[in-house]
């Protein structure tokens, strides 16, 4: 790989890091109780206090869970060459585009961090300790795989869309990152013992509020390692043998789309799978599948949207729809915090298909009907052309065209997933200021005035999980067909916010089902800032959003 290509892959942060806030590492707890709301009669928090509260909801996840607080000035830029090389090699085996930058910092080893830039937009960063590689090798008797496993763990957090909780990490997402580490290290050639080496030496042997106990984490690493070994069709996986004594220097070999997916499970630890196309049947044209894989990779790299086509032999007794939702969670397609993933499932031997779109994608693709087209392809093509010795051949193209038509909808929109607003009052104030400018004679400026569709990240307490439709508060039309349900939350400033949530969202979230009276951080897409024009003038109602994700803060 050229020096220029490497620089693009592992971009250092500038030496004079322009950050508004640096956010604390896993294990830090909120020192103060939740701020009172304006409705309680106590003074609402100031904007500065709200910014500090926001800072407490964006976190880092260090490998061993020890609490750390960093100063932005200590993130000095380019990390050591061996660390950059390690990131490059790990990313080569993930099958996914990189969504983070790498820098040096005074962390214990390596940590996945979220920072706010000058525009208060969250940015994903992995921070290294300069002595990280040597210290980890020393702690593991010189095992060269140990630092790679730590790096794969931190990369797994970012690729999955973790590190967004306000009270540190959560044990479920730590297990996800551990499983991802085991999966990637097996693909790189590590033995099972090598994949576990760092955790054996550095992991805590007891459960904490943010991290599981060492034995649970070792079991997750083993699950990931075994899954990769089984997927590769290797024999003797139970022996735990690797194919290399040290991390490989060469690029990974080309992958085939013909693999078998893990059995669907609503309880297994999710794993960032890193494949955009899977053909369990082995009947589709492999060269055409490579083209679709490249198209979907490009979509993920440019817009952050992850779509996957799964052509499966067996639905394991599930409906195609249930299978699709289970796999959306289990394979962690899309970024968890932004809800920007989707799964197309085609089961030609059962003559059925389905799609599952996370909420960030659902609104953009709501007018298409891929299952109808998939079923038509199966009825007209599968039995006639795909079951002989030559497989589907060129008939594969008509199947892939269905997926590519949905990609074109997304690319034509140009939509990217970046947080624009970081609290609800900011939206209310911004909208009022723009309205005042237009009332004074300024013409509408779409780039400046349009807020509908902006992504918002904020903290609030759940007030009502089953609100009734009400003018300016809950839109009855959105709820009619059952694809969305409503809930009302209240911010620390006393603003009521209506969130529209897909019924399946709760099964995707590590934080479990929403609870009334509990405080969360939410990410969603603005559908109205809450200012409605009527015969009586402008009425202030609830700010309303499509809900993408949530994480508990208490």
Residue pLDDT, tens place only, 204-249:
777 777 788 899 999 999 999 999 999 888 888 999 999 888 898 8
The mean pLDDT of 468-486, rounded to a whole number, is 94
Element (DSSP H or E) covering residue 175: helix 171-188
Poorest-pLDDT segment among 59-63, 214-218, 330-334: 59-63
In this prediction, residues 285-291 reach a mean pLDDT of 96
Most confident of 57-66, 155-164, 277-286, 530-539: 277-286
- Would you state the structure tokens that stand for residue 104, as one six-digit string? 């040096």
- Whole-number Å distance between alpha carbons of 402 and 346: 11
SS3 551: strand
Q: Are 548 and 338 spatial neighbours (Cβ–Cβ below 8 Å)?
A: yes
| Structural contact between residues 146 and 183, judged by C-beta atoms closer than 8 angstroms | no
Q: With contact defined as beta carbons under 8 Å apart, do 385 and 395 qualify?
A: yes
Is the separation of the CB atoms in 356 and 325 below 8 Å?
yes
Q: Which pLDDT score is estimated for 499?
A: 98
Of residues 486 and 234, more confidently modeled: 486
The predicted structure's pLDDT at residue 113: 79
Task: Give the domain 419-552 fold.
Answer: OB fold (Dihydrolipoamide Acetyltransferase, E2P) (2.40.50)
- Residue 111 binned pLDDT confidence (cut-offs 50, 70, 90): confident
Instruction: Find out whether 156 and 96 touch, Cβ atoms under 8 Å.
Output: no
pLDDT of residue 3: 35
Percent of the chain whose pLDDT exceeds 70: 83
More confident residue, 270 or 4: 270
Average pLDDT of span 277-294: 96
**Alpha-carbon separation of residue 503 from 65, 89, 202 (angstroms):** 33, 39, 40
CA distances from 81 to 3, 102, 140, 247, 265 (A): 12, 11, 21, 15, 41
Quick check: 525 pLDDT over 80? yes
Mean pLDDT of 155-176: 79
User: Binning pLDDT at 50, 70 and 90, where does residue 17 land?
Assistant: very low
Looking at residue 317, its pLDDT comes to 96
The pLDDT, as a whole number, for residue 445 is: 93
Q: What is the structure's pLDDT at 315?
A: 97
Does residue 261 have a pLDDT over 80?
yes
How large is the average pLDDT for residues 470-494? 94
**What letters, b where the CB count within 10 A reaches 16 and e where it falls short, cover 502-533?**
bebbeebbbbeebeeeebbbbbbbbbbbbbee
* pLDDT reading at 412 higher than 50: yes
Residue appearing with tokens 């309303």: 544
Residue ranges, CATH 2.40.50.140, the chain = 419-552
C-alpha separations of 391 from 78, 314, 385, 387, 510 in Å = 50, 18, 7, 6, 40
Do residues 527 and 544 make contact, with C-beta atoms less than 8 angstroms apart?
yes
Tell me which fold the domain 277-413 belongs to.
Diaminopimelate Epimerase; Chain A, domain 1 (3.10.310)
pLDDT (0 to 100) of residue 67: 54
The highest-confidence range among 41-45, 50-54, 350-354, by mean pLDDT, is 350-354
Residue bearing the bigger pLDDT, 214 or 19: 214
The least confident of 76-80, 130-134, 226-230, 498-502 is 76-80
The pLDDT, as a whole number, for residue 403 is: 98
Question: From CA 82, how far away is CA 91, in angstroms rounded?
Answer: 14
User: Which helix (H) or strand (E) covers residue 197, if one does?
Assistant: helix 192-202
**What is the mean pLDDT of the segment spanning 250-271?**
90
444 three-class SS: coil
106-115, 207-216, 326-335: range with highest mean pLDDT: 326-335
Averaged pLDDT, 346-373: 95
What per-residue string of b and e applies to 388-406 under the rule 16 or more CB within 10 Å gives b?
Answer: eeebbeebbeebbebbeeb
Q: What is the mean pLDDT of the chain?
A: 84
Q: What is the mean pLDDT of residues 444-454?
A: 92
Residue 21 pLDDT > 50 = no
Pairing of strands 455-464, 485-491: antiparallel
CB of 121 within 8 A of CB of 18? Answer: no
Better-scored residue on pLDDT, 533 or 430: 430
Instruction: Flag whether pLDDT at 56 surpasses 80.
Output: no
Beta strand 496-501 with 543-552 is parallel
Q: Tokens at residue 547, please?
A: 């809900």
Q: Which among 132, 135, 76, 68 is positioned nearest to 104, based on CA atoms?
A: 76
Token couple for 20: 């508004």
Q: In angstroms, rounded to a whole number, what is the distance separating the alpha carbons of residues 547 and 150?
A: 32
Highest-scoring range by mean pLDDT, 1-5, 146-150, 327-331, 533-537? 327-331
**Residue 70 confidence (pLDDT) above 90:** no
Predicted confidence at residue 166, as pLDDT, reads 47
Report which of residues 173 and 219 the model is more confident about: 219
The mean pLDDT of 469-496, rounded to a whole number, is 94
Say how far apart CA 66 and CA 75 lie, in whole Å. 19
- What number is the average pLDDT over the span 475-494? 95
How are beta strands 306-311 and 277-279 bridged, if at all?
A: parallel
Q: How many CB atoms lie within 10 A of CB 126?
A: 25
Sequence-ordered list of residues with C-beta below 8 angstroms from that of 336, at least 6 positions apart, any chain: 160, 161, 162, 164, 173, 508, 509, 510, 549
Q: What is the mean pLDDT of residues 79-90?
A: 83
The mean pLDDT value for 364-392 works out to: 94
Q: Is the pLDDT of residue 6 over 60?
A: no
- What is the spatial distance between Cα 178 and Cα 271, in angstroms, rounded to a whole number? 9
Give ranges for CATH 3.10.310.50 in the chain.
277-413
**CA-CA-CA-CA torsion sign (133, 134, 138, 141):** positive
pLDDT for 187 beyond 90: yes
Least confident of 24-33, 54-63, 164-173, 449-458: 24-33
User: Higher-confidence residue: 36 or 411?
Assistant: 411
User: Do 479 and 549 meet the contact criterion of CB atoms below 8 Å apart?
Assistant: no
Residue 102 pLDDT: 86
For position 29, what pLDDT does the model report? Answer: 31
Q: How confident is the model at residue 123 (pLDDT cuts 50, 70, 90)?
A: confident
State the pairing for strand pair 60-62/277-279. unpaired
Q: What pLDDT, on a 0 to 100 scale, did the predictor assign at position 168?
A: 59
Residue 456, H or E segment: strand 455-464
Phi, psi of 269 (to 5 degrees): -65, 125
Residue 340 pLDDT > 80, yes or no? yes
Q: Quickly tell me which residue has 């892959």 as its tokens.
A: 9
Q: What are phi and psi of 116, to 5 degrees?
A: -100, 130
The predicted structure's pLDDT at residue 415: 85
Bridge partner list, 491: 460
The CA distances from residue 77 to 74, 104, 128, 139, 304, in Å, are 9, 6, 10, 26, 25
CB contact set of 110 (below 8 Å; sequence gap of 6+) = 62, 63, 126, 127, 128, 129, 132, 150, 151, 154
């Amino acid at each position: 790989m050229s020096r220029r290509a490497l620089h693009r892959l592992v971009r250092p942060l500038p030496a004079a890091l322009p950050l508004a806030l640096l956010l604390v590492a896993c294990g830090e707890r909120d020192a103060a109780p939740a701020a009172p709301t304006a409705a309680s009669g106590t003074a609402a928090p100031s904007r500065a206090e709200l910014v500090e509260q926001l800072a407490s909801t964006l976190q880092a996840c260090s490998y061993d869970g020890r609490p750390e607080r960093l100063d932005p000035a200590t993130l000095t830029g380019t990390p050591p060459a061996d660390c950059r090389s390690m990131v490059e090699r790990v990313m080569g085996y993930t099958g996914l585009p990189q969504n983070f930058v790498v820098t040096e910092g005074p962390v214990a080893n390596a940590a996945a961090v979220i920072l706010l830039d000058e525009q208060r937009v969250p940015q994903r960063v992995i921070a290294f300790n300069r002595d990280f590689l040597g210290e980890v090798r020393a702690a593991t008797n010189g095992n060269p795989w140990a630092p790679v496993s730590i790096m794969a763990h931190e990369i797994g957090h970012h690729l999955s869309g973790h590190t967004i909780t306000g009270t540190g990490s959560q044990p479920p997402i730590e297990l996800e990152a551990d499983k991802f580490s085991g999966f990637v290290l097996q693909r790189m050639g590590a033995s099972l013992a090598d994949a576990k080496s760092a955790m054996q030496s550095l992991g805590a042997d007891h459960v904490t509020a943010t991290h599981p106990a060492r034995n649970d984490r070792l079991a997750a690493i083993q699950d990931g390692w075994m899954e990769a070994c089984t997927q590769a069709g290797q024999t003797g996986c139970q022996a735990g043998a690797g194919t290399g004594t040290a991390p490989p220097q060469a690029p990974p070999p080309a992958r085939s789309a013909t693999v078998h997916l893990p059995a669907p499970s609503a309880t297994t630890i999710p794993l960032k799978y890193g494949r955009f196309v899977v053909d369990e049947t082995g009947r589709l044209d492999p060269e055409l599948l490579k083209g679709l894989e490249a198209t979907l990779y490009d979509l993920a790299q440019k817009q952050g949207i992850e779509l996957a086509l799964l052509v499966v032999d067996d639905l394991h007794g599930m409906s195609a729809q249930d299978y699709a939702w289970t796999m959306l969670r289990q394979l962690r397609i899309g970024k968890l915090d932004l809800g920007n993933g989707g799964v197309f499932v085609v089961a030609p031997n059962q003559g059925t298909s389905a799609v599952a779109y996370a909420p960030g994608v659902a609104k953009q693709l709501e007018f298409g009907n891929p299952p109808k087209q998939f079923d038509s392809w199966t009825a007209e093509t599968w039995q006639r052309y795909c079951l002989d010795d030559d497989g589907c051949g060129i008939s594969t193209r008509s199947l892939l065209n269905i997926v590519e038509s949905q990609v074109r909808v997304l690319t034509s929109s140009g939509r990217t997933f970046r947080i624009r607003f970081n609290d609800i009052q900011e939206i209310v104030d911004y909208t009022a200021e723009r309205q005042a400018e237009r009332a004074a004679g300024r013409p509408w400026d779409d780039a400046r005035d349009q807020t509908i569709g902006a992504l918002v990240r904020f903290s609030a307490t759940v007030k009502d999980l089953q609100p009734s439709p009400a003018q300016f508060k809950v839109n009855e039309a959105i709820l009619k067909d059952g694809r969305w349900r409503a809930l009302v939350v209240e911010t620390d400033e006393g603003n009521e916010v209506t969130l529209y949530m897909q019924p399946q969202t709760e099964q995707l979230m590590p934080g479990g089902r929403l609870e009334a009276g509990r405080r969360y951080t939410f990410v969603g897409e603005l559908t109205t800032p809450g200012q409605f024009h009527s015969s009586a003038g402008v009425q202030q109602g609830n700010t309303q959003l499509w809900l993408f994700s949530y994480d508990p803060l208490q």
